[in-house]
Chains A and B, each alone.
Chain A
Amino acid sequence: MKIDRRQLVVLGAAGAAGALGPPLRGAAAPASPKAAGDKLTAREASWYKKLEEGRVECQLCPQKCTVADMERGMCGNRENRGGTYYTLVWGRACAVHVDPIEKKPFFHVMPGEQALSFSTAGCNVECKFCQNWEISQFRPEQVEAYDLPPRDLVAAAKRTGARLTAATYGEPVVFWEYVRDVAAAANAAGLKPTVVSNGFIQEEALREVAPSLAAIKVDLKGFREKYYEEQIRGKLEPVLKTLQVVQELGVWLEIVVLLVPTLNDSAEEIRDLSQWVRKNLGPDVPVHFTRFHPTYRLTDLPPTPIATLERSWDIGRQAGLNYVYLGNVPGHPGENTVCPGCGEILIRRVGFRVIANTLVDGACPKCQRKIPGVWK
């Protein structure tokens, strides 16, 4: 197949070729962004060191790729050209949509608001169940993209009425320079920049950018190194470190755990995970247990049984977590935000829609307990 414009809009409702799809074609929208074309624009990467004989070592993620001249890192979007390492995706967005913030999912960040969501091609791991593999597992020249530098992206967000930006779909770590510069532009424009990531990043790069973000959602894909090695081609330990650093920096954090039948969904593993979160991050970090659907290289497993999700929901709460959610099960009570003090339902959701939000200044209207989050 020729990877065509369909790839660009595969992640959202936008249908027509050209521009960025209907969500960005507001009445006030000026001319659409330009297609980026076949030629890749290289910008020197911010996190790497030069080695002998023209090699470089990437210092962005824990893969620590050593890359020879003319080769790329595992992400596929960083290239060594004569001993200088370049990102090939700065300002080159291949998926751009306006989504409800609940789709990320953030449940404690400005409920019901829209996020201008964007991605580039490439990823630093290879999850066998990747839902966005048609962009994350491809190199930038294989996927159509738009020339969308940060200020244009933020301008587009403003036009659509989105109050947040979200680096998402693919893996923001591999376009971290773009994330950094979008965050700066978003903050300057009064928008809240957010990131949806696998958390597989080196600490220095994380610390440089995270403080400029309003919220980070991390996919904690399991709680066993073996699972990370075999299903993700990553490592668990650096992700746990990321969670701790984000928490330490005071950036709002939510965690998603995709439960894959038979691979990471045992009660013991979920208990270990929940207890680790409770002990190391505290009881108020929202944890979303979400439902797997067969895709990419894991097509021989069934969707996660609802019973497994509900068991995990119970385990999380028994471990002392105040905000445990279920995802990809529209209409389930596990989508609602409930006051841990009095049990009042504070935010009622169906899928990505907020049906009712009774929070008053970020507090329960019944018992006045403060509910942590980014509410404004």
Chain B
Amino acid sequence: MRRLTRRELALMLGAGALAGTRRAGASTPVVLPGVVGVAEAEARHGQPLSREQAGRAVAGAVAAAVGAESGAEAAKSLFAPSDTVGIKVNCLAGKALSPRVELVEALVDLIAGAGVDRRKIIVFDRSSRELEKAGFTIHPHGSPYRCVGTDNDYDRLPSSSGAIGSCFARIVSTECTALVSFGVVKDHDLAGVSAGMKNWYGVIHNPNKYHQNGCDPYIADVARHPFIRDKLRLTVLDGVVAQCHGGPAYRPGATFDLGVVAASTDPVAADLWAWQVIEAERKRRGMPTLEEAGRPVRFVATAAAEGLGVGDPDRLKVVSA
């Protein structure tokens, strides 16, 4: 049997065929449970993507995620001109392992193309400093889009969701009507995987409180808080370079050129896909599974049980752009 390349593997994980789930753009945001759209992104480690490459990859992944003919059509099915859209990026690991600026900007273009005012598209993370370290330029006033750190602008009072009690970033609780998690595909030393859902730890004031027990049920509890659950439209994962070990910090020896961008309206499915990609790479390297390594990915099943998405590998459908 021919050995698959990593990219082929990423595209095939989750059983490939998408049967009967494609549909035309809807007047309400599309949700396709279990569907992950994956598009090739040609860059290699350390190399930037061209604007065209980035645009093609993001549009392709998003279109595949919602069963649309194009990225523009997909964006219109997800966002309305009246929306204020927050794109939460995960810049903890610095430039080498954060969402690429060119990919995030491609998504901004896509959303703007759906009629959303660029001043109401907010790329954010927990601090301006981390954004800048990851290569983003702070744009506090929205030209060509807003890019800001939360920088301690949290709700005055905590609100609870399951086991967590947190003050949420006001960008999430108050400003935005629609949210996107833009993460990376990486291992996490406690949670097992840090991709789309773990990224939401960056919008609460006290993430340090919720790393016990593999971050479970806390990741799911944050994700099912109405501020996020009711506003989340899309998860996008920068899988141009992924990391199979040693996260959340950047570990050069554990990264690999996956060469894809993934997108899903199902946050659980997106993380399930990322998990499978990481496990596949670990297996290829002869490394133990995440469970064998002492960090089973518990939160995916918990999130699925909470109704946030599909956590069953048999129901994961990966659609290539």
Contacts and interface: CB of A to CB of B under 8 A. Distances in A.
B9 to A, nearest CB: 25
Interface string A197-215: 0000000000000000000
A76 B93 contact: no
Interface residues of A, number: 29
Contacts of B158: 133, 137, 296-297
Contacts of B209: 74, 76, 126, 137, 233
A133 B92 CA distance: 25
A171 B127 CA distance: 26
Q: Which of B155, B156, B205, B209 has the most CB of A within 10 A?
A: B209
A70 B249 contact: yes
Contacts of A74: 208-209, 211-212
B152 interface: yes
B156, B205, B206, B247, most chain A CB atoms within 10 A: B206
A310 interface: no
Interface in B241-271: 246-249
B148 interface: no
Given A1-B153, A1-B154, A297-B160, A71 B205 contact: no
Contacts of B165: 126, 128, 296-297
B154 A3 contact: yes
B152 A3 contact: yes
B152 A2 contact: yes
A68 B208 contact: no
B248 A1 contact: no
B249 A68 contact: yes
A269 B158 CA distance: 30
Nearest to A68: B189
B208 A72 contact: yes
A68 B247 contact: yes
Contacts of A164: none
Contacts of B152: 2-3, 141-142
A2 B153 contact: yes
A73 interface: yes
Contacts of B205: 137-139, 142
A138 B205 CA distance: 7
Contact of A1 (B93, B155, B190, B208): B155
Contacts of A73: 208
A113 interface: no
Interface in A218-235: 233
Interface in A52-99: 53-55, 63, 65-66, 68-76
Nearest to B158: A297
Given A1-B153, A55-B189, A297-B165, A68 B160 contact: no
A63 B211 CA distance: 11
Nearest to A80: B249
Nearest to B166: A137
Nearest to A122: B208
A138 B206 contact: yes
Contacts of B208: 72-76, 139
28 contacts: A1-B153, A1-B154, A1-B155, A2-B152, A3-B152, A3-B154, A53-B246, A66-B189, A68-B188, A68-B248, A69-B246, A70-B92, A71-B189, A71-B211, A72-B208, A73-B208, A76-B206, A76-B209, A126-B206, A137-B158, A138-B205, A139-B205, A139-B206, A141-B127, A142-B152, A233-B209, A297-B158, A297-B165
Given A66-B189, A68-B248, A137-B158, 8 more contacts: A1-B156, A1-B170, A2-B152, A70-B249, A76-B206, A138-B206, A139-B206, A142-B154
Interface of B: 92-93, 127, 152-156, 158, 160, 165, 170, 188-190, 205-206, 208-209, 211-212, 246-249
